[in-house]
Amino acid sequence: MSVKVVLRNPRREVEVAAGRRVKDVLVELEIIPESVLVIRGDELVTADQMVRDDDVLELRPVMSGGRA
Amino acid sequence: MKCRKCGERAAIELRRHNAAFCVPDFQDFFRKQIREAIRKHRMFTEDEPVLVAVSGGKDSLALWDVLIDEGYRTTGLYLDLGIFDYSVESKARCEAFAARRGVPLIIAAVADEVGAPVPVIKQVTRRPPCSGCGLSKRYLMNRTALQHGFPVVATGHNLDDEAATLFGSVMHWQTDALPRQSPALASTHPKLVRRVKPLYRLSERETAAFAFTRKIDYIVDECPFAKGATSIAHKELLNRMEEASPGAKHNFLFGFLDKARAAFERVEHVELKECARCGQVTTGEICAFCKLAQSVRGAGAPRAPQRAGRGEAATDPSVPGAGA
Protein backbone atom coordinates (compact mmCIF):
# COMPACT_ATOMS: atom_id res chain seq x y z
CA MET A 1 0.00 0.00 0.00
CA SER A 2 2.16 2.84 -1.23
CA VAL A 3 2.03 6.01 -3.24
CA LYS A 4 4.76 7.33 -5.50
CA VAL A 5 5.48 11.01 -4.99
CA VAL A 6 7.38 12.94 -7.66
CA LEU A 7 9.28 15.99 -6.40
CA ARG A 8 11.04 18.67 -8.49
CA ASN A 9 14.11 20.88 -8.28
CA PRO A 10 15.88 18.50 -8.28
CA ARG A 11 13.60 15.85 -9.73
CA ARG A 12 13.31 12.78 -7.49
CA GLU A 13 10.79 10.17 -6.41
CA VAL A 14 9.86 8.87 -2.97
CA GLU A 15 7.39 6.25 -1.75
CA VAL A 16 4.96 6.99 1.05
CA ALA A 17 2.13 5.06 2.65
CA ALA A 18 -1.32 5.15 1.03
CA GLY A 19 -4.72 5.22 2.75
CA ARG A 20 -4.53 8.72 4.18
CA ARG A 21 -5.06 12.31 3.15
CA VAL A 22 -2.86 14.46 0.93
CA LYS A 23 -2.18 16.82 3.83
CA ASP A 24 -0.71 13.92 5.84
CA VAL A 25 1.69 13.17 2.98
CA LEU A 26 2.77 16.83 2.90
CA VAL A 27 3.38 16.79 6.66
CA GLU A 28 5.50 13.63 6.38
CA LEU A 29 7.60 15.19 3.61
CA GLU A 30 7.80 18.52 5.51
CA ILE A 31 6.36 20.46 2.60
CA ILE A 32 4.33 23.61 3.16
CA PRO A 33 1.05 23.32 1.20
CA GLU A 34 1.37 26.93 0.08
CA SER A 35 4.59 26.10 -1.78
CA VAL A 36 3.30 23.36 -4.13
CA LEU A 37 0.54 22.24 -6.45
CA VAL A 38 -0.54 18.68 -5.77
CA ILE A 39 -1.23 16.94 -9.08
CA ARG A 40 -2.69 13.47 -9.66
CA GLY A 41 -2.85 12.50 -13.32
CA ASP A 42 -3.93 15.68 -15.06
CA GLU A 43 -5.90 17.07 -12.12
CA LEU A 44 -5.23 19.24 -9.10
CA VAL A 45 -6.15 17.67 -5.78
CA THR A 46 -6.96 19.35 -2.50
CA ALA A 47 -5.30 18.54 0.81
CA ASP A 48 -8.34 16.70 2.20
CA GLN A 49 -8.42 14.06 -0.55
CA MET A 50 -7.38 10.48 0.13
CA VAL A 51 -4.35 8.97 -1.55
CA ARG A 52 -4.84 5.42 -2.75
CA ASP A 53 -2.55 2.51 -3.43
CA ASP A 54 -0.57 2.96 -6.66
CA ASP A 55 -1.44 6.66 -6.94
CA VAL A 56 1.27 8.86 -8.43
CA LEU A 57 1.34 12.37 -6.98
CA GLU A 58 3.43 15.21 -8.38
CA LEU A 59 4.32 17.95 -5.92
CA ARG A 60 5.10 20.79 -8.27
CA PRO A 61 6.86 23.75 -6.67
CA VAL A 62 5.29 27.12 -7.37
CA MET A 63 8.10 29.35 -6.19
CA SER A 64 10.00 31.38 -8.73
CA GLY A 65 12.40 34.14 -8.05
CA GLY A 66 15.82 35.54 -7.79
CA ARG A 67 14.56 38.47 -9.75
CA ALA A 68 15.92 41.84 -8.79
CA MET B 1 -13.97 19.77 -0.26
CA LYS B 2 -16.63 21.52 -2.37
CA CYS B 3 -16.49 24.51 -4.69
CA ARG B 4 -17.82 27.59 -2.89
CA LYS B 5 -19.75 28.68 -5.96
CA CYS B 6 -21.22 25.57 -7.57
CA GLY B 7 -20.85 22.84 -4.95
CA GLU B 8 -18.95 20.50 -7.26
CA ARG B 9 -15.69 18.86 -6.14
CA ALA B 10 -13.04 21.53 -5.56
CA ALA B 11 -9.66 21.46 -7.32
CA ILE B 12 -7.95 24.11 -5.24
CA GLU B 13 -8.36 25.52 -1.75
CA LEU B 14 -7.57 29.19 -1.11
CA ARG B 15 -7.23 29.40 2.65
CA ARG B 16 -6.64 33.14 2.69
CA HIS B 17 -10.08 33.58 1.11
CA ASN B 18 -11.58 30.80 3.23
CA ALA B 19 -12.73 29.25 -0.04
CA ALA B 20 -12.26 26.38 -2.46
CA PHE B 21 -13.11 26.33 -6.15
CA CYS B 22 -13.62 23.91 -9.00
CA VAL B 23 -11.49 24.58 -12.10
CA PRO B 24 -13.98 26.78 -14.04
CA ASP B 25 -14.88 28.86 -11.00
CA PHE B 26 -11.21 29.20 -9.99
CA GLN B 27 -10.33 30.48 -13.45
CA ASP B 28 -13.24 32.91 -13.21
CA PHE B 29 -11.96 34.11 -9.81
CA PHE B 30 -8.44 34.49 -11.25
CA ARG B 31 -9.58 36.62 -14.18
CA LYS B 32 -11.70 38.80 -11.89
CA GLN B 33 -8.66 39.55 -9.71
CA ILE B 34 -6.74 40.74 -12.77
CA ARG B 35 -9.67 42.84 -13.99
CA GLU B 36 -9.88 44.43 -10.54
CA ALA B 37 -6.13 45.18 -10.50
CA ILE B 38 -6.30 46.84 -13.94
CA ARG B 39 -9.39 48.84 -13.00
CA LYS B 40 -8.27 49.95 -9.56
CA HIS B 41 -4.86 51.18 -10.68
CA ARG B 42 -5.93 52.32 -14.16
CA MET B 43 -3.11 50.20 -15.56
CA PHE B 44 -4.18 50.51 -19.20
CA THR B 45 -7.27 50.99 -21.33
CA GLU B 46 -8.71 48.73 -24.01
CA ASP B 47 -7.36 51.14 -26.65
CA GLU B 48 -3.73 50.95 -25.55
CA PRO B 49 -1.31 48.36 -26.90
CA VAL B 50 0.37 46.47 -24.02
CA LEU B 51 3.87 45.01 -24.06
CA VAL B 52 3.86 41.89 -21.84
CA ALA B 53 7.27 40.88 -20.54
CA VAL B 54 7.37 37.08 -20.69
CA SER B 55 9.95 34.70 -19.27
CA GLY B 56 8.45 31.33 -20.16
CA GLY B 57 7.40 30.87 -16.53
CA LYS B 58 3.91 30.40 -15.11
CA ASP B 59 3.29 34.00 -14.07
CA SER B 60 4.01 35.89 -17.24
CA LEU B 61 2.40 33.31 -19.53
CA ALA B 62 -0.72 33.15 -17.32
CA LEU B 63 -0.91 36.95 -17.43
CA TRP B 64 -0.51 37.03 -21.19
CA ASP B 65 -3.17 34.32 -21.55
CA VAL B 66 -5.72 36.33 -19.55
CA LEU B 67 -4.96 39.64 -21.29
CA ILE B 68 -5.42 38.01 -24.71
CA ASP B 69 -8.76 36.54 -23.64
CA GLU B 70 -9.84 39.89 -22.20
CA GLY B 71 -9.37 41.39 -25.65
CA TYR B 72 -6.31 43.56 -25.05
CA ARG B 73 -3.90 44.20 -27.91
CA THR B 74 -0.79 42.53 -26.53
CA THR B 75 2.70 41.81 -27.77
CA GLY B 76 5.12 39.63 -25.82
CA LEU B 77 8.69 40.59 -25.09
CA TYR B 78 11.14 37.81 -24.31
CA LEU B 79 14.60 38.82 -23.15
CA ASP B 80 17.13 36.07 -23.79
CA LEU B 81 19.41 36.16 -20.75
CA GLY B 82 21.77 33.52 -22.13
CA ILE B 83 21.52 31.36 -18.99
CA PHE B 84 22.48 27.99 -20.44
CA ASP B 85 19.70 25.44 -21.13
CA TYR B 86 17.30 27.40 -18.91
CA SER B 87 17.16 30.24 -21.44
CA VAL B 88 16.92 27.88 -24.40
CA GLU B 89 13.93 26.11 -22.86
CA SER B 90 12.17 29.23 -21.59
CA LYS B 91 12.50 30.93 -24.98
CA ALA B 92 10.99 27.88 -26.68
CA ARG B 93 8.01 28.01 -24.27
CA CYS B 94 7.38 31.66 -25.16
CA GLU B 95 7.64 31.04 -28.88
CA ALA B 96 5.29 28.06 -28.67
CA PHE B 97 2.76 30.03 -26.62
CA ALA B 98 2.82 32.98 -29.04
CA ALA B 99 2.38 30.66 -32.01
CA ARG B 100 -0.48 28.79 -30.35
CA ARG B 101 -2.34 31.98 -29.43
CA GLY B 102 -1.44 33.78 -32.67
CA VAL B 103 0.08 36.80 -30.98
CA PRO B 104 3.31 38.69 -31.78
CA LEU B 105 6.50 38.12 -29.78
CA ILE B 106 9.57 40.36 -29.75
CA ILE B 107 12.85 38.67 -28.79
CA ALA B 108 15.94 40.55 -27.67
CA ALA B 109 19.20 39.09 -26.38
CA VAL B 110 21.01 40.59 -23.40
CA ALA B 111 24.31 39.47 -24.97
CA ASP B 112 23.65 41.64 -28.02
CA GLU B 113 22.91 44.69 -25.89
CA VAL B 114 25.36 44.39 -23.01
CA GLY B 115 28.11 42.50 -24.79
CA ALA B 116 27.78 39.26 -22.86
CA PRO B 117 25.07 36.99 -21.38
CA VAL B 118 24.09 37.05 -17.70
CA PRO B 119 26.56 34.34 -16.55
CA VAL B 120 29.46 36.34 -17.98
CA ILE B 121 28.10 39.61 -16.58
CA LYS B 122 28.13 37.90 -13.18
CA GLN B 123 31.80 36.99 -13.59
CA VAL B 124 32.85 40.42 -14.80
CA THR B 125 30.96 42.46 -12.22
CA ARG B 126 31.54 40.03 -9.35
CA ARG B 127 28.05 40.84 -8.17
CA PRO B 128 25.06 38.54 -7.70
CA PRO B 129 23.67 37.49 -11.10
CA CYS B 130 20.21 38.87 -10.26
CA SER B 131 21.75 42.35 -10.02
CA GLY B 132 22.98 42.70 -13.62
CA CYS B 133 20.04 40.63 -14.86
CA GLY B 134 17.41 42.84 -13.21
CA LEU B 135 19.11 46.03 -14.36
CA SER B 136 19.29 44.76 -17.95
CA LYS B 137 15.69 43.60 -17.95
CA ARG B 138 14.29 46.90 -16.66
CA TYR B 139 16.35 48.90 -19.15
CA LEU B 140 15.55 46.72 -22.17
CA MET B 141 11.84 46.49 -21.33
CA ASN B 142 11.54 50.26 -21.25
CA ARG B 143 13.65 50.86 -24.35
CA THR B 144 11.87 48.20 -26.39
CA ALA B 145 8.48 49.64 -25.39
CA LEU B 146 9.60 53.12 -26.51
CA GLN B 147 11.02 51.83 -29.78
CA HIS B 148 7.80 50.02 -30.67
CA GLY B 149 5.34 52.64 -29.41
CA PHE B 150 3.98 50.86 -26.33
CA PRO B 151 2.86 53.22 -23.52
CA VAL B 152 2.95 50.45 -20.91
CA VAL B 153 4.84 47.29 -19.95
CA ALA B 154 3.04 44.59 -17.95
CA THR B 155 5.11 42.15 -15.91
CA GLY B 156 4.16 38.91 -14.16
CA HIS B 157 5.07 39.95 -10.61
CA ASN B 158 2.64 38.24 -8.24
CA LEU B 159 1.60 38.71 -4.61
CA ASP B 160 4.48 36.57 -3.35
CA ASP B 161 7.03 38.51 -5.40
CA GLU B 162 5.71 41.81 -4.11
CA ALA B 163 5.45 40.67 -0.48
CA ALA B 164 9.01 39.27 -0.60
CA THR B 165 10.37 42.49 -2.10
CA LEU B 166 8.57 44.53 0.55
CA PHE B 167 9.88 42.23 3.27
CA GLY B 168 13.44 42.67 2.00
CA SER B 169 13.10 46.45 1.84
CA VAL B 170 11.66 46.65 5.34
CA MET B 171 14.28 44.33 6.79
CA HIS B 172 16.94 46.79 5.64
CA TRP B 173 14.77 49.88 5.95
CA GLN B 174 15.44 50.81 2.36
CA THR B 175 13.14 53.80 2.52
CA ASP B 176 14.10 54.88 -1.01
CA ALA B 177 12.72 51.63 -2.38
CA LEU B 178 9.41 51.69 -0.52
CA PRO B 179 7.60 54.42 -2.51
CA ARG B 180 8.65 52.74 -5.76
CA GLN B 181 6.92 49.53 -4.76
CA SER B 182 3.53 49.78 -6.39
CA PRO B 183 1.26 47.71 -8.64
CA ALA B 184 1.45 50.58 -11.15
CA LEU B 185 4.32 52.99 -11.68
CA ALA B 186 3.29 56.02 -13.69
CA SER B 187 5.45 57.51 -16.41
CA THR B 188 7.43 60.38 -14.87
CA HIS B 189 9.37 61.26 -18.03
CA PRO B 190 8.52 61.12 -21.74
CA LYS B 191 11.09 58.35 -22.13
CA LEU B 192 9.80 56.23 -19.25
CA VAL B 193 6.80 54.03 -19.99
CA ARG B 194 4.27 52.95 -17.38
CA ARG B 195 5.08 49.70 -15.59
CA VAL B 196 2.23 47.60 -14.22
CA LYS B 197 1.81 44.33 -12.33
CA PRO B 198 -1.70 42.98 -12.94
CA LEU B 199 -1.00 39.77 -10.94
CA TYR B 200 -0.22 41.54 -7.67
CA ARG B 201 -3.50 40.35 -6.12
CA LEU B 202 -2.74 36.68 -6.89
CA SER B 203 -0.34 34.33 -5.11
CA GLU B 204 2.17 32.31 -7.08
CA ARG B 205 0.36 29.12 -6.11
CA GLU B 206 -2.73 30.62 -7.74
CA THR B 207 -0.85 31.61 -10.91
CA ALA B 208 0.69 28.12 -11.06
CA ALA B 209 -2.77 26.56 -10.67
CA PHE B 210 -4.18 28.80 -13.40
CA ALA B 211 -1.34 27.97 -15.80
CA PHE B 212 -1.70 24.25 -15.05
CA THR B 213 -5.47 24.16 -15.49
CA ARG B 214 -5.21 26.20 -18.70
CA LYS B 215 -2.66 23.65 -19.94
CA ILE B 216 -0.06 26.33 -20.52
CA ASP B 217 3.32 24.71 -21.15
CA TYR B 218 5.54 26.76 -18.85
CA ILE B 219 9.04 26.13 -17.56
CA VAL B 220 8.74 24.56 -14.11
CA ASP B 221 12.44 24.47 -13.26
CA GLU B 222 13.63 27.64 -11.65
CA CYS B 223 16.47 29.81 -12.91
CA PRO B 224 19.75 28.09 -11.90
CA PHE B 225 20.95 31.35 -10.42
CA ALA B 226 17.86 31.74 -8.21
CA LYS B 227 19.08 29.04 -5.83
CA GLY B 228 20.23 30.74 -2.66
CA ALA B 229 18.80 34.12 -3.70
CA THR B 230 17.68 36.25 -0.78
CA SER B 231 14.25 36.74 -2.30
CA ILE B 232 13.70 32.97 -2.22
CA ALA B 233 14.62 32.83 1.46
CA HIS B 234 12.16 35.64 2.15
CA LYS B 235 9.43 33.81 0.24
CA GLU B 236 10.01 30.69 2.32
CA LEU B 237 9.74 32.69 5.53
CA LEU B 238 6.55 34.35 4.35
CA ASN B 239 5.08 30.98 3.38
CA ARG B 240 5.69 29.72 6.90
CA MET B 241 3.84 32.75 8.22
CA GLU B 242 1.06 32.11 5.71
CA GLU B 243 0.77 28.52 6.88
CA ALA B 244 0.35 29.66 10.48
CA SER B 245 -1.90 32.56 9.59
CA PRO B 246 -3.66 32.41 6.20
CA GLY B 247 -3.78 35.84 4.62
CA ALA B 248 -0.50 37.00 6.18
CA LYS B 249 1.15 37.80 2.84
CA HIS B 250 -1.92 39.57 1.54
CA ASN B 251 -2.31 41.62 4.72
CA PHE B 252 1.39 42.54 4.76
CA LEU B 253 1.41 43.82 1.17
CA PHE B 254 -2.05 45.36 1.02
CA GLY B 255 -1.64 46.99 4.42
CA PHE B 256 1.53 48.64 3.15
CA LEU B 257 -0.11 49.80 -0.09
CA ASP B 258 -3.23 51.11 1.64
CA LYS B 259 -1.79 52.56 4.82
CA ALA B 260 1.98 53.02 4.76
CA ARG B 261 3.35 53.58 1.27
CA ALA B 262 2.35 57.24 1.04
CA ALA B 263 4.32 58.04 4.19
CA PHE B 264 7.55 57.12 2.42
CA GLU B 265 7.01 59.13 -0.75
CA ARG B 266 9.82 61.58 -1.27
CA VAL B 267 9.30 65.24 -0.73
CA GLU B 268 12.41 66.27 -2.61
CA HIS B 269 12.42 66.41 -6.38
CA VAL B 270 14.62 63.93 -8.27
CA GLU B 271 16.01 65.41 -11.46
CA LEU B 272 15.77 63.01 -14.40
CA LYS B 273 18.23 63.45 -17.27
CA GLU B 274 18.97 61.61 -20.48
CA CYS B 275 22.06 59.41 -20.59
CA ALA B 276 24.86 61.04 -22.58
CA ARG B 277 25.47 57.76 -24.40
CA CYS B 278 22.15 56.07 -25.06
CA GLY B 279 19.61 58.83 -24.38
CA GLN B 280 17.62 56.73 -21.89
CA VAL B 281 16.54 58.21 -18.57
CA THR B 282 18.97 58.39 -15.67
CA THR B 283 19.71 60.50 -12.62
CA GLY B 284 23.42 60.81 -13.53
CA GLU B 285 25.37 61.60 -16.67
CA ILE B 286 25.76 57.99 -17.78
CA CYS B 287 23.02 55.44 -17.00
CA ALA B 288 23.70 52.27 -15.03
CA PHE B 289 23.06 50.09 -18.08
CA CYS B 290 25.71 51.88 -20.17
CA LYS B 291 28.16 51.62 -17.27
CA LEU B 292 27.46 47.90 -17.07
CA ALA B 293 27.95 47.44 -20.82
CA GLN B 294 31.18 49.43 -20.65
CA SER B 295 32.58 47.29 -17.86
CA VAL B 296 31.60 44.06 -19.64
CA ARG B 297 33.03 45.12 -23.00
CA GLY B 298 36.09 46.68 -21.34
CA ALA B 299 36.84 43.37 -19.66
CA GLY B 300 36.93 41.67 -23.04
CA ALA B 301 34.27 39.29 -21.82
CA PRO B 302 33.40 36.35 -24.05
CA ARG B 303 29.94 36.46 -25.59
CA ALA B 304 29.30 32.94 -24.38
CA PRO B 305 29.89 31.62 -20.86
CA GLN B 306 32.73 29.16 -20.46
CA ARG B 307 31.68 25.66 -19.55
CA ALA B 308 32.98 23.35 -16.84
CA GLY B 309 36.64 22.53 -16.72
CA ARG B 310 37.82 26.09 -17.17
CA GLY B 311 38.39 27.06 -13.56
CA GLU B 312 36.84 30.36 -12.51
CA ALA B 313 34.75 30.60 -15.67
CA ALA B 314 32.90 27.38 -14.87
CA THR B 315 29.91 28.90 -13.12
CA ASP B 316 27.00 27.03 -14.60
CA PRO B 317 25.23 25.97 -11.38
CA SER B 318 23.71 23.02 -13.22
CA VAL B 319 27.17 21.64 -13.86
CA PRO B 320 28.37 19.55 -10.91
CA GLY B 321 31.37 21.16 -9.29
CA ALA B 322 30.77 24.53 -10.93
CA GLY B 323 31.79 27.52 -8.90
CA ALA B 324 28.51 29.46 -8.64
Q: Which pLDDT score is estimated for B96? A: 98
Which residues 22-51 of chain A have a CB within 8 Å of chain B?
Answer: 32-37, 39, 43-49
Closest residue in B to A61 (Cα) is B220
| A10 vs A67: which has the higher pLDDT | A10
Range of the domain at A28: 2-61
Q: Residue B226 falls within a domain, yes or no? A: yes
Give me the helices (H) in B228-279, please: 230-244, 248-255
Q: Do A68 and B130 touch (CB under 8 A)?
A: yes
Which residues 272-291 of chain B have a CB within 8 Å of chain A?
Answer: none
Q: Do A65 and B231 touch (CB under 8 A)?
A: yes
Whether B134 and B141 have beta carbons less than 8 Å apart is answered as: no
Q: Which pLDDT score is estimated for B226? A: 86
Q: Residue B245 falls within a domain, yes or no? A: yes
CATH number of the domain where residue B39 is located: 3.40.50.620
CA distances B293 to A45, B223, B286, B304, B314, Å, are: 48, 22, 11, 15, 21
Q: Which pLDDT score is estimated for B301? A: 63
Q: Say yes or no to pLDDT of B93 above 50.
A: yes
Q: Residue B210 falls within a domain, yes or no? A: yes
Helix (H) or strand (E) holding B108: strand B105-109
Q: Do B220 and A61 touch (CB under 8 A)?
A: yes
Q: Say yes or no to pLDDT of B322 above 80.
A: no
Question: Quick check: bond before B117 cis, omega within 30?
Answer: no
Q: Which pLDDT score is estimated for B304? A: 61
The reported pTM is 0.91
Q: Say yes or no to pLDDT of B32 above 80.
A: yes
Q: Residue B147 falls within a domain, yes or no? A: yes
Q: Say yes or no to pLDDT of A67 above 80.
A: no
- Residue A63 forms contact with B (CB below 8 Å): yes
Q: Say yes or no to pLDDT of B163 above 70.
A: yes
DSSP state of A49: S
Query: d(Cα B68, Cα B75) in Å, to the nearest integer?
Result: 9
User: B310 pLDDT band (50/70/90 cuts)?
Assistant: very low
Q: Do A63 and B160 touch (CB under 8 A)?
A: yes
Share the mean pLDDT of chain B: 91
Q: What is the ipTM of this complex?
A: 0.94
Contacts of A9 in chain B (CB under 8 A): 220-222
Q: Which pLDDT score is estimated for B312? A: 34
Q: Do B204 and A32 touch (CB under 8 A)?
A: no
- Residue B162 forms contact with A (CB below 8 Å): no
Q: Which pLDDT score is estimated for B126? A: 85
Q: How many domains does chain A have?
A: 1
CA distances B304 to A14, B84, B121, B123, B185, Å, are: 38, 9, 10, 12, 34
Q: Say yes or no to pLDDT of B303 above 90.
A: no
Q: Residue B259 falls within a domain, yes or no? A: yes
Q: Say yes or no to pLDDT of B314 above 50.
A: no
Q: Do B222 and A44 touch (CB under 8 A)?
A: no
Instruction: Encode pLDDT of A13-31 as tens digits.
Output: 999 999 999 999 999 999 9
- Residue A67 forms contact with B (CB below 8 Å): yes
- Residue A15 forms contact with B (CB below 8 Å): no
Q: How many domains does chain B have?
A: 1
- Residue A10 forms contact with B (CB below 8 Å): no
Query: d(Cα B76, Cα B194) in Å, to the nearest integer?
Result: 16
CATH number of the domain where residue A22 is located: 3.10.20.30
Contacts of B58 in chain A (CB under 8 A): 62, 64
Residue B162, helix vs strand vs coil:
helix
Q: Which pLDDT score is estimated for B235? A: 94
Q: Residue B36 falls within a domain, yes or no? A: yes
Q: Say yes or no to pLDDT of B319 above 50.
A: no
Q: Residue A68 falls within a domain, yes or no? A: no
Q: Residue A24 falls within a domain, yes or no? A: yes
Q: Residue A66 falls within a domain, yes or no? A: no
Query: d(Cα B289, Cα B279) in Å, to the nearest integer?
Result: 11
Range of the domain at B50: 23-270
Region B305-320: mean pLDDT is 38
Query: How does B157-172 read in b/e, with b if 16+ C-beta sit within 10 Å?
Result: bbbbbbbbbbbebeee
Closest residue in A to B12 (Cα) is A46
Identify the weakest region by mean pLDDT among A26-30, B70-74, B129-133, B155-159.
B129-133
Whether B136 and B113 have beta carbons less than 8 Å apart is answered as: yes
Instruction: Encode pLDDT of B262-282 as tens digits.
Output: 998 876 678 899 999 999 999
